[in-house]
């Protein structure tokens, strides 16, 4: 029996059964490759550098093969797109030229005054529709650029504009930024000189956010895709910009019902316009621009989802 106030002796065999508590355990040497907690754990096999290198090499080969597959898939998609365009043709080249000749002079002299007055926006709608019927959807998205190239006798050059993702919103060009695909000093100069015939105020609306006055219907610059809603204060539809090739949501209310209502609408329009000019935050509606035409007065805004909204009163 151990004396009162003293500890009992360590039972025989206890140190052997509990090596971590054994006073005979050797102190940890910091130079050893094992941690104290791992002293009783068998060494795990290490991954050799050569094995890691092999895995990286295999991964690189897989990435390379994936890139080759994607390139081949892209080529097949281009071939399919060309075949679809050919099948979608409903008019021949002869029919196209016959329809375009009254609108666009087929070849303009390299010198002299412009061959005609500036084009109307409605004429570009017609040109775009004809190019669609000919199976050239990408051309139809750039009717102003196509018009200039046709007048200088370089229609196929439009493919270079498409490859560089240039739209009619890129107009006007200068000698410095006009694509090199437009060859010849005289042709390039003529292209630049004729740009005044295809100029539109709609470009300023999308580029600079100014107030624009359209002498004709602003609908010549937008294609309505589907209705989005409506009510007592107007209708909302999903439209597509013929210049910037972007989607918009447009709200509009017809003018001319009566003088009093017009006065109220203009007052509301001015108030909202001034309010939006003060809003500058990525989570709030941002003013893009405003315009009027014979039927509507409107303003454009962009919300945080990058959707531009035309509020027309």
Mean pLDDT along residues 51-70: 67
Q: Length of the chain in residues, anyone?
A: 313
Residue 157: count of CB within 10 angstroms of its CB: 19
User: Looking at 81-95, 106-120, 202-216, 256-270, which range is the least confident one?
Assistant: 256-270
Of the listed ranges 31-35, 200-204, 216-220, 289-293, the least confidently predicted one is: 31-35
pLDDT score, position 310: 46
Last residue of a domain, one of 164, 182, 199: 199
Say if residues 190 and 110 touch (Cβ distance below 8 Å). yes
Residues 123-138 have pLDDT tens digits of 999 999 999 999 999 9
Boundary residue ending a domain (166, 199, 232)? 199
**Helical ranges in the chain per DSSP H:** 14-17, 49-88, 93-100, 121-133, 137-140, 143-151, 158-163, 185-194, 202-207, 259-277
Tell whether pTM > 0.95: no
When pLDDT is averaged across residues 183-188 and rounded to a whole number, the result is 92
Task: Judge if 182 and 245 occupy the same domain.
Answer: no
Instruction: Give the end of a domain, one of 182, 199, 216.
Output: 199
Structural domain including 233 reads: 204-312
More confident residue, 84 or 172: 172
245: helix, strand or coil = coil
In a domain, residue 37? The reply is no
Mean confidence (pLDDT) of the chain = 72
Identify the residue with better confidence: 103 or 234. 103
Asked if residue 140 belongs to a domain, the reply is yes
pLDDT score, position 96? 94
pLDDT of 207 reads 63
Which of the 8 DSSP states describes residue 214?
-
Residues 164 and 248 occupy one common structural domain: no
Mean pLDDT to the nearest integer, 170-193? 92
Assess contact for 162 and 138: CB atoms under 8 A: yes
Evaluate whether 239 touches 247 at the Cβ level (below 8 Å). Answer: yes
CB atoms near residue 42 (< 10 Å): 5
Mean pLDDT confidence for 153-177: 92
Higher pLDDT, 34 or 269: 269
Query: Residue 107 domain-assigned?
Result: yes
In-domain check, residue 32: no
Contact criterion met (CB below 8 Å) for 176 and 167: no
Do 209 and 308 fall into the same domain?
yes
Supply the CATH number for residue 214's domain. Answer: 3.30.200.20
Q: Is the pLDDT of residue 267 over 70?
A: no
Distance between CA 238 and CA 309 in Å, rounded? 9
Q: What is the C-alpha separation between 95 and 212, in angstroms, rounded? A: 36
Our count of domains for the chain comes to 2
Confidence at residue 115, expressed as pLDDT on a 0 to 100 scale: 78
């Amino acid at each position: 029996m151990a004396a009162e106030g003293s500890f009992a002796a360590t039972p025989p065999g206890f140190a052997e059964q509990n090596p971590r508590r054994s006073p005979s355990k050797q102190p940890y040497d910091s130079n050893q490759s094992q941690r104290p907690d791992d002293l009783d754990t068998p060494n795990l096999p290490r991954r050799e550098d050569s094995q890691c290198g092999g895995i990286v090499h295999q991964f690189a080969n897989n990435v390379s093969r994936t890139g080759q597959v994607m390139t081949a898939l892209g080529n097949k998609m281009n071939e399919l797109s060309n075949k679809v365009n050919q099948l979608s043709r409903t008019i021949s080249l002869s029919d196209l030229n016959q329809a375009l000749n009254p609108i666009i002079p087929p070849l303009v002299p390299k010198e002299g005054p412009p061959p005609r007055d500036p084009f109307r926006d409605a004429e570009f709608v017609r040109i775009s529709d004809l190019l669609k019927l000919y199976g050239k959807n990408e051309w139809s998205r750039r009717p102003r650029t196509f018009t200039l190239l046709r007048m200088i006798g370089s229609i196929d050059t439009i493919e270079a504009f498409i490859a560089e993702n240039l739209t009619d919103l890129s107009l006007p060009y200068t000698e410095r930024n006009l694509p090199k695909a437009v060859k010849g000093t005289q042709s390039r100069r003529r292209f630049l000189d004729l740009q005044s015939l295809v100029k539109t105020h709609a470009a300023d609306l999308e580029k600079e956010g100014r107030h624009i006055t359209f002498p004709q219907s602003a609908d010549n610059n937008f294609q309505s895709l589907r209705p989005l809603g409506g009510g007592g204060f107007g209708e909302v539809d999903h439209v597509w910009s013929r210049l910037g090739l972007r989607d918009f949501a447009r709200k509009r209310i017809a003018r001319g019902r009566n003088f009093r209502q017009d006065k109220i609408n203009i007052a509301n329009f001015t108030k909202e316009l001034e309010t939006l000019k003060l809003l500058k935050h990525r989570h709030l509606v941002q003013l893009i621009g405003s315009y009027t035409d014979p039927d509507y007065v409107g303003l454009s805004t962009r919300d945080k989802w990058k959707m531009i909204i035309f509020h027309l009163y």
